[in-house]
Amino acid sequence: MKRKSATAQQQERTESLHPLIIDSIQSVKGKKILKLDLRQLDDAQVDFFILCSGDSNTQVRAIADRIEKRLREEAGERPLHVEGTREGHWILLDYFNTIVHVFHPEIRSYYDLESLWSDAKFEQFETL
């Protein structure tokens, strides 16, 4: 029986968090939820981006807080790195092979990661 490498196990573990991340975003009414699969792109540093928007700095922070709390409590996972919580315009949560970007709409439009990574496979999710 062939054993999986530690990296493969970590990748599977990280991908298993995606439904919980998406549900956390939806529970705080995050908008324009998009998952980009970057695994087939040579220049990508991670495997997945999950992007979403909040209507205000308060909502952006609330979405990021919900993701962090649920992943910590329900999956025992903490982000490797977090940026942008003070300003609340663009919060980045780094979960090893997946980076979650929570944007204020104007900032998301300005940086336009969807176009920058347009060669990636993507999956869109509804706002509940």
Model confidence at 13: pLDDT above 90: no
Domain for residue 74, yes or no? Answer: yes
Both structure tokens of 19 = 């439904």
Task: Calculate the average pLDDT of the chain.
Answer: 92
- Note the pLDDT tens digit of each residue in 103-123: 999 999 999 999 999 999 999
Model confidence at 12: pLDDT above 90: no
pTM, entire model: 0.90
Give me the sheet containing 81-83, strands edge to edge. 81-83, 90-95, 98-103, 48-53, 31-37, 121-125
Model confidence at 15: pLDDT above 90: no
CATH number of the domain within which 112 lies:
3.30.460.10
Structural contact between residues 36 and 48, judged by C-beta atoms closer than 8 angstroms: yes
Number of domains in the chain: 1
pLDDT at residue number 3: 58
Q: Residue 115, exposed/middle/buried by CB under 10 A (0-12, 13-18, 19+)?
A: exposed
Query: What average pLDDT does range 1-23 have in this prediction?
Result: 77
Domain for residue 2, yes or no? Answer: no
